[in-house]
Chains A and B, each alone.
Chain A
Amino acid sequence: MSDPIRIAGLTKKFRRTPVLKGIDLTVPRESVFALIGPNGAGKTTTIKIAMNILRPTAGRAEILGIDSRRLAGRDFTRIGYVSENQEMPDWMTVDYFLRYLRPFYPAWDDALAAQLIGRFNLPGGRKLKHLSRGMRMKAALASSLAYRPEVIVLDEPFTGLDPLARDEFIEGLLERSQNTTVFISSHDLADIETFASHIAYLEDGRIQFSEELSALADRFREIEITFDAAPPLPPDLPASWLRPESSAAVIRFTDSRYDAARTNAEIRARFPGVRDISATPMPLRSIFVTVAKSAQRAAA
């Protein structure tokens, strides 16, 4: 079975401003793939191109083996899409919205739709325009899960949601998306960390890394080296040692290619007077901040 989303050399310019600069990405089947990055990195543009809402300047995106530029009509019976800034038919009630969508999807499951409405506590008779932001997102998610899509794409779904709504949204998504590939963009790293299986980091239109979350967590460590008296930082530190800093008796950095034996050996080779080395696992948020700041420093 091929990967449901494949992106190769994707480039997008708005007039002369480049937003995506040739990104490559592969989303494995049945993964929960998080595309993270700071505001303006190009996450939404990537997703909109993948969904054929925007057209690429160069390169291509494929979803379920279909070139995104040809994605249309019946193809969307296998794909769900929920976005924070999507305009909904506000005049419809929740019930009518789901009833209206039902004939578009041969695989629509009425029982599942009813379950989702109950699960999300959606008021069926209320118009979409009278729902809170969280409720609207949940209504959109319910309408995108009720036909059991093979791929569900979520663009910044947590923006503006309170913690309770966020939890309900994530739980509802995970409960009903078995056998489904989830592609989600977000900068809400704490939540992503709890359920994503894969992660890609997009910055300034380029993918900085893309891998399994567990592998990412394994290779990033916050290293603290203790000395009797810390030596000055040498200029030729490895490129994988990010944001090195030195204080009275301590040198700290983030190792982005951590391997206990190799890292310890390299530290001892560079700093013979080491008294102690500690390697602390990092939460995703810290990894994100470290990588972002390193990129900013390199760009400056």
Chain B
Amino acid sequence: MTQTLHIFRKDIRRFRYELCAVAALTAAFAWSHIAADVPGPADFGRTVALAFLTTFFLAGAWWFLVSQLIHEESLAGDRQFWVTRPYAWRSLLAAKLLFVIAFVNGPLLAAQMAILAAAGYRPLAGIPQLLWMQFAVAAMLLAPAIALGTVTRNLAQFVLTILGGVLSWYVVLAALVPSQAIGSSCVNQAVGVPVVCAGAALIVVWQFSRRATTASIRAGLCTLLLAGVLYYGLPMPVRDAIRSSVFHQPEAKAVSVSIPPLNALGYGHDSGSGRLGINLRFTIHCAPEGEVAWPEMLDVTLEAPAGLRWASGTQFASRSYPVSTPDPREINYIHTLYLPREFYRVVRGTAVSIHGSMRLSLRRQTTVPLPHGQATRIPGGGYCDVSQAQDQWTVFCSSPFRRPFDTSSGSGVDVDHGPAGFARYTSMQLLSAPESPFPDFAVSPVFTIQTVSPTDAEISFVRESPRAWIERDFAASVSMPVEH
């Protein structure tokens, strides 16, 4: 402990100017977020951009500070004076971690509490979430920086490795990962991020205890590879199994999926890549009261009488066309299948057998109307403020630890708004569909979104909490449409 504090004090003296700069950036970060978390500013976009910039520069300053801190007693190389001095590696590592906690996490926690308090939330009530955010920042931002610092000798190597790593990552993504697989879910993150954190921790401990730089670099590359495979290539059955085990709901048994027998397939359109898009309508029955069933993934197989067969493989389900039916417990979804043109030419106008399976999420819906001219509490502890600005309504939503909503959608009649295009809705829905039980990953604890609504729109906030992840089979015989 004595040696830890001795090294810690030396590092404070060594980095006193850098610490002042980080403290100033932390203050700027807090100030910019406090300014952006107030409803109704005319230049909301500018304040948000400023908040983003201060966050970006603060994160950059942390990486710089961490790299300098580790390089002060560099672990890579064979010329450092300290390796032949009586340093205990545990004391050295403890001193570095203490420094990071004291001068990165500590000021950040204070800034986060100030941001929460300024936005009208009670910081002490959010201590567990704040601690989780500290852990997330440490695990996802700081641990990789510390690990990289331990295998590089100086700032130039550190920066070049980051640039090279980012470039390589995107090249590999572009070359190997299909575009439909790019898209994160909390399950992907839940398996990919811990691997990165564990790998970083392993490298840090290994380097401090053994200074085996080559082996550590290899371990780092293996970690990134494994994390990438788990993040982007996690097999869907595994992902579904994880989701099903997390979101278990026995009463979801009644839910079924079918394809209406008549006019099930809409006319196709050319996708421009040798494939023809065919609209397939699904009906989902018997979602439990107060819940909605969202199609997430599906597999479809078409079988023609002549023995011709085509399988889609697992696809993300289209979720953009929900259509109401007279039965309130039924809802239709349209999914576009892209068939090979050769297959289509053979089967068009004929009856084909269609079967497959659909994976659905059942989500409990909570709807909160947002009256004009006032602020309304929303699920999750935040609020939405609807205020008039000139000929439209500004909707400002704020929420602690989570984005207030994920998407906004409207329905109604379109009118010409001149250069702004067509936009006139009779209703507007702000949809929040969080999947993870943990706070969203961010540096600031308060999330704000501002959007605009036409004056006559009824605005509502809808929270969909995931309750179950289920799979249903379907089978039908349908007539293939004729291309026109």
Contact = CB atoms under 8 A, between A and B. Distances in A.
Contacts of A295: none
B88 A51 contact: no
A72 B89 contact: yes
A52 B77 CA distance: 12
Contacts of A140: 81
Nearest to A77: B86
Interface in B278-317: none
A86 B86 contact: no
A76 B85 contact: yes
A105 interface: yes
Contacts of B484: none
A101 B79 contact: no
Interface string A70-102: 001111110101010111110100000000110
Contact of A74 (B77, B78, B79, B88): B88
Contacts of A74: 86, 88
A79 B89 CA distance: 17
A48 interface: yes
B78 A76 contact: no
B124 to A, nearest CB: 40
B9 to A, nearest CB: 9
B3 interface: yes
A101 B85 contact: yes
Interface hub of B72, B74, B80 (most chain A Cβ within 10 A): B80
A74 B6 CA distance: 16
A238 interface: no
Given A53-B84, A72-B89, A73-B89, A103 B78 contact: no
A209 interface: no
B87 A89 contact: no
Contacts of A77: 86
A104 interface: yes
Given A48-B78, A53-B78, A54-B78, A104 B86 contact: yes
B3 A104 contact: yes
Nearest to B13: A96
A86 B80 CA distance: 6
B83 A53 contact: yes
Contacts of B77: 87
Contacts of B72: 89
A104 B84 contact: no
Contact of B84 (A54, A76, A85, A103): A76
Contacts of B14: 89, 91
Interface string B2-19: 110010001000100000
Nearest to B92: A73
A48 B83 CA distance: 11
A74 B83 CA distance: 12
Interface string A22-64: 0000000000000000000000000010011110000000000
A81 B88 CA distance: 17
Contact of A104 (B74, B78, B80, B85): B85
B79 A103 contact: no
A81 B10 CA distance: 22
Contact of B86 (A51, A53, A73, A85): A73
A87 B6 CA distance: 20
Contacts of A85: 79
A120 to B, nearest CB: 17
A76 B81 contact: no
Contact of B10 (A54, A79, A100): A100
Interface in A96-154: 100-101, 103-105, 140
Contacts of B86: 73-77, 104-105
B207 to A, nearest CB: 14
Contacts of A103: 2-3, 6
Given A100-B10, A103-B3, A104-B3, A86 B88 contact: no
A140 B81 CA distance: 9
Nearest to A72: B89
A87 B89 contact: no
A53 to B, nearest CB: 5
Interface in B38-74: 72, 74
Nearest to B79: A87
A77 to B, nearest CB: 5
B157 to A, nearest CB: 14
B3 A86 contact: no
A54 to B, nearest CB: 6
Interface string B79-122: 11101111111000000000000000000000000000000000
Given A76-B86, A77-B86, A104-B3, A89 B78 contact: no
Interface string B307-349: 0000000000000000000000000000000000000000000
B10 A73 contact: no
B81 A88 contact: yes
A135 B81 CA distance: 16
10 contacts: A48-B78, A51-B83, A53-B83, A54-B78, A87-B74, A87-B80, A87-B81, A88-B81, A103-B2, A103-B3
Given A73-B87, A73-B88, A87-B77, 14 more contacts: A51-B84, A52-B83, A53-B83, A74-B88, A79-B84, A83-B79, A87-B74, A87-B80, A91-B14, A103-B6, A104-B3, A104-B6, A104-B85, A104-B86
Interface of B: 2-3, 6, 10, 14, 72, 74, 77-81, 83-89
Interface of A: 48, 51-54, 72-77, 79, 81, 83, 85-89, 91, 100-101, 103-105, 140
